[in-house]
Structure 1
Amino acid sequence: MPFVYMLRCADGSYYVGSTRNLEARLFQHNHAVEDACLYTRSRRPVELVWHEEVENVGLAYGLEKQIQGWGRKKREALIRGDFELLPLLSSRRGGRPRPT
């Protein structure tokens, strides 16, 4: 089954990804030298702080892209499991209020 995951890097930044083999991917992020780990290679060690198993690769990729668009506070709410805060931490670009 595919996973979506979030890592906390040594510099405090977060990395969001998806994979079919979470254990192998974590090893790559912390040890591999290939370009697939370009972001995390210079920010080691990395720590797994959140993951979710999903039904298929398409859902994993979509959720990965969604979380990548989130701000830091919203990502940290997800890590803590504060799911009720997620809608409150959503922001709209452009500054216009949401229609009611």
Structure 2
Amino acid sequence: MFNHNYFVYITTNPNRTTYYIGVTNDLPRRLTEHFENSGKPGTFAGKYFCYNLIYFERYPSPNQAIDREKQLKGWSRSKKEALIRKQNPNLKFLNELAFE
């Protein structure tokens, strides 16, 4: 079987006031799409300018990633923020890491 990468990721807007949680098998492409859709009201991430990566996790299967995405979406904002700050204490934008 091939070794695949699936990502659960959290993006935020420039002021870090809104979070978006998603899943993808191509993180750089997905971040580019979020940036290109910024300001467009047709999508949540676009409407709220959520194109700055602040957290991600890697999984070997799509089912694991989807299950984790659903779990995170059910969490309170404070619980999500605590998780993010464990990996990224200053909520630094991590987009450059995705494009390495």
Fold in common (TM above 0.5): yes
Match of 1:70, SS?
coil
Per-residue deviation, residues 56-96 of structure 1 (Å, max 9, x unmatched)? 000000000000000111001111117xxxxxxxxxxxxxx
Unpaired runs of at least 5, structure 2: 88-100
Matches within 5 A, 1:67-86: 67-81=72-86
Is residue 27 of structure 1 aligned with residue 29 of structure 2? no
Q: Distance in 2 between matches of 1:5 and 1:22?
A: 8
TM-score by length of 2: 0.72
Deviation at 1:9, TM superposition (A): 2.3
Matches within 5 A, 1:24-63: 24-32=29-37, 38-44=43-49, 46-63=51-68
Which residue in the other structure is 2:9 paired with? 5
**Amino acid in structure 1 at the alignment position of 2:52:** E
TM-score by length of 1: 0.72
Deviation at 1:10, TM superposition (A): 4.1
CA RMSD of aligned residues (A): 2.1
Q: Distance in 2 between matches of 1:5 and 1:30?
A: 14
Runs of 4+ in structure 1 off by over 3 angstroms are none
**Amino acid in structure 2 at the alignment position of 1:67:** L
Identity over aligned pairs, percent: 32
How has the CA–CA distance of structure 1 residues 5 and 45 changed in structure 2, closer, same or farther, with 3 Å as cutoff? closer
Which residue in the other structure is 1:66 paired with? 71
Match of 1:50, SS?
strand
Deviation at 1:44, TM superposition (A): 1.5
Which residue in the other structure is 2:95 paired with? none
Structure of higher CA gyration radius = 1
